[in-house]
Structure 1
Amino acid sequence: MTALDIQHVDGAAGDEQLEAWRYVHNTIIPAHVLSLADVRERAARNHLELAYADGELIGNSTVRPPAGADATAMVAARVLAAHRGRGHGGHLYERALLKARELGARVIETCVLESNEDGLRFAERHGFVQTDRYQLDGDPTWWIDLRLAG
């Protein structure tokens, strides 16, 4: 596997970094398109990263800090289709999981579009089990919430 260049994207990030993160998100999750303002707001409250291989954008990740009585954090690792199957998703996921644990998470969850078969297989291979399946009001898209077992 090619070594990844990982860049943290925070609330002070410039438009170029925010747009790169937005591009990956919107490409992989077309059912929930984010604006630049949406990403800027997410970057201020979540831990976001961009991943590059040989100078080319290949993916991103999100860690939503733990919340609630059970300290549940949400993690997501996204890799553009042309770069899958090379271990990059596993690397991003491991970084996200480590960050969630550093932030005090005791429970780890993720959310995947039902139509994202690669993402669902990835989550299940990494120990996640389905906890909910739902549609948002007026949206025909099915979403699947998963929780890390054990």
Structure 2
Amino acid sequence: MIQPADEAELADWRHIHNVIIPTDPLGPDDVRDRAGRYHLEVAYLGDTPVGCSTVRPPCEETPAATVIARVLPEHRGRGFGTELYLRGLARAREFGGEGVETVVLASNGSGLRFALRHGFVETERYLLPGDTVPYVALTLSV
């Protein structure tokens, strides 16, 4: 697990994000912007990127920290998501705020099951402008 520090590592993070969230593909500038505002990590198996995470600190409009863990489908079920999530949760707790939230694309059934298994409860579903697949917002209940 590393915090991406160069263009190749940021490209790995972007690739994973874009595979998991095809409705909101990000370009290199978008990822550099996020890396400046959020805590990003990439999980590798050897030299192969297998997952990534985002931890957003609390802010005025969202007083809870947000933890998002993503694992490529072919690498799920091997503990990468749990490791990314636990590391993200630890970072979120360092940020403080009023709890922890996550968000999952509704079409990502395994991501929703993962969040529910880890104590999150659904709070709302919403569509971004122009999207057809809703996002599911969840709050950590434990």
TM-score with structure 1 setting the length: 0.90
Structure-1 separation of matches of 2:46 and 2:17: 20
Equivalent residue number for residue 3 of structure 2? 8
Equivalent residue number for residue 3 of structure 1? none
Structure-2 separation of matches of 1:101 and 1:83: 27
Structure-2 separation of matches of 1:65 and 1:121: 24
Gaps of 5+ in 1: 1-5
Q: Which whole-Å deviations, capped at 9, do the CAs of 1:64-84 have from their partners, x for residues lacking one?
A: 012238841110011111110
TM-score with structure 2 setting the length: 0.95
SS at match of 1:66: coil
Equivalent residue number for residue 115 of structure 2? 123
Structure-2 separation of matches of 1:80 and 1:48: 16
RMSD: 1.4
- Which of 107, 125, 130 is the matching residue for 1:138? 130
Gaps of 5+ in 2: none
Structure-2 separation of matches of 1:27 and 1:70: 26
Equivalent residue number for residue 94 of structure 2? 102
Q: 1:1-150 to 2 correspondence within 5 Å?
A: 6-9=1-4, 13-68=5-60, 71-150=63-142
Structure-1 separation of matches of 2:140 and 2:76: 22
Q: CA deviation at 1:18?
A: 1.1
Q: CA deviation at 1:135?
A: 1.1
Q: CA deviation at 1:59?
A: 0.5
Structure-2 separation of matches of 1:20 and 1:50: 7
**Cα gap change, 1:67/1:86 in structure 2, threshold over 3 Å: closer, same or farther?**
same
Structure-2 separation of matches of 1:32 and 1:18: 16
Structure 1 or 2: more strand by fraction: 1
Structure-2 separation of matches of 1:131 and 1:23: 28
**Cα gap change, 1:69/1:133 in structure 2, threshold over 3 Å: closer, same or farther?**
closer
- Deviation above 6 Å: which 4+ runs of structure 1? none
